[in-house]
A and B are shown apart, each in its own frame.
Chain A
């Protein structure tokens, strides 16, 4: 494309995407009066009153909310990685009956909108009496279709000679799978982050299945946004900033690996 067009388009979109978040961070130190003037960038003073209010426990136990969200998203991501990687390995390197069926099962999960399943899942969890249980909610998202398809492609790229070697050494498929895990570490990181990211942002299912005393971050943000609570706008923005930090750090640290794994996956 035109030499000027590329930097201009990129710069413009970067401005639209990144600038509001800089404003959001700075506005978490502002009063309502300052916030209602979106053109104003810097706060009059960097008073962290919103952060203090959040962690004071006056509104709700925000530390517990953070820990709960981390536990839910982190736990589900780790379980989903292991479970879907094992299935992807079997699909890529195994020869067994029902392989196509398994692939279609994974594909169906992707194609069927998850939120539309939430009511039925809530009803089913209520019948099992596991609503209000964080671990029940964690396990409900472990079977990820995207994970299975992703790891199937990843394991297809693992040389068959390694599998031959494992066969010669008399390893079982299960042991072979665990031996190969370090080889696909970038892919594990990538999918783990992606699953963490999706679970971290999940709203409807936690809203239905967890009690009001078991808020996760999306529920806490919705509560802060509720005008009946009369909380200063800065508190909602501060919670939004804090909610971004784990994803920011994870993506920042693993970004190169994520890009590499994604590029490999795209090629395959």
Chain B
């Protein structure tokens, strides 16, 4: 939050209007107006229902589409899947990235840069490429996951994309694979920013590795962990490309991998379920995006309190 008193420049508001006007213009034109367009669309009567009102018991009201969304089992199912997807990917990515950042930090300085760069490689790939790679390399009886993880542990090979109970974990793994490098880089920078004397004191006092994590590394990076969590939350709710490529635009077997944006896409366009119900899709988007924004804002308030 900017300090109102801060600022060192000329007190001429006109000059600043000139500097900020391009942003304000683009913001209004491509964010505010579409936001209201979305709300307006969500309140319109669906083409599916117009003309079929008599005898159907359906009366349109501005909130009809929101009600229809909430009463649509597929929407609720997509929300459950998205919550599991987001929760799983945030927990695993943050946990793994945190310990990975510490590990890289403790490596010889010569190797730190190259390790960080190599860890970033999955994030360079398009989500579509990750999906293809996941399908060809990890998936299948002879795929890497079965060959190196499942079979050596004594289990039967898993049919990752056809078994409904494994589709969602596949999507979570894909998200973790994609973002771990980026979050590790951010947390590594955070660890580098911790004053060195804290580590010296810990060393002199003979602190164990766990004590260092608990008293120095975690407090020193918790703001970044929260920031990364918010980033992953917003990105996870909006996840589309990976699931779209991996499941061919569907939700997979029994809709086990149906994420929220895929649901909205399916409802809105004939390419999906053929419903072409843009008002319902908009109502679902307004509900979910609004809730996510509020939740993320609450998390930011937590961050502010932590700062105080």
Query: Of A45-53, A56-64, A260-268, which binds chain B?
Result: A260-268
Please determine whether A24 and B137 come into contact, CB atoms closer than 8 angstroms: yes
Contacts of A266 in B (CB 8 A): 186, 189-190, 193, 224
List B contacts of A233 (CB < 8 A).
132, 136
> Which residues in chain B, 138-196, are within 8 Å of chain A measured between CB atoms?
138, 140, 142-144, 147, 177, 180-181, 185-186, 189-190, 192-193
Residues of chain A within 8 A of B16, CB atoms compared: 90, 94, 96, 173
With A1-B209, A266-B190 in contact, do A13 and B126 touch (Cβ < 8 Å)? no
Do A142 and B107 contact each other (CB < 8 Å), given the known contacts A9-B100, A111-B293, A113-B289?
no
Q: How far is the CA of A177 from the CA of B38 in the complex (A)?
A: 36
Number of chain B residues whose Cβ lies closer than 8 Å to a Cβ of chain A: 108
Tell me, rounded to whole Å, the shortest Cβ–Cβ distance linking B297 to chain A. 6
Interface SS majority for chain B: helix
Closest chain-B Cβ to A118's Cβ sits at a distance in Å of 8
Is there contact, CB below 8 Å, between B129 and A243?
yes
A218 touches B9 (CB 8 A): no
Q: Which of B124, B140, B290 contacts A244 (CB 8 A)?
A: B124
Contacts of A94 in B (CB 8 A): 7, 9-10, 15-16, 19
Does A93 have its Cβ within 8 Å of any Cβ on chain B? yes
Q: In the bound complex, do residue B268 and residue A119 qualify as a contact, i.e. CB atoms below 8 Å apart?
A: yes
Cβ of A99 within 8 Å of any chain B Cβ, yes or no, is yes
Q: Mark A170-189, 1 if CB is under 8 A from B, else 0.
A: 00111011000000000000
User: B13 and A97: CB pair below 8 A?
Assistant: yes
Those 9 A-B pairs whose CB atoms lie nearest each other, nearest first: A120-B38, A240-B129, A115-B238, A116-B289, A95-B7, A221-B128, A143-B26, A203-B241, A113-B238
Q: B residues touching A (Cβ–Cβ < 8 Å)?
A: 1-2, 4-13, 15-20, 22-24, 26-27, 30-31, 33-35, 37-38, 41, 96, 99-100, 102-104, 106-107, 113, 115-129, 131-133, 136-138, 140, 142-144, 147, 177, 180-181, 185-186, 189-190, 192-193, 209, 212-213, 224, 230, 234-235, 237-241, 244-245, 248, 260-261, 264-265, 268-269, 278, 281-282, 285, 288-290, 292-293, 296-297, 300
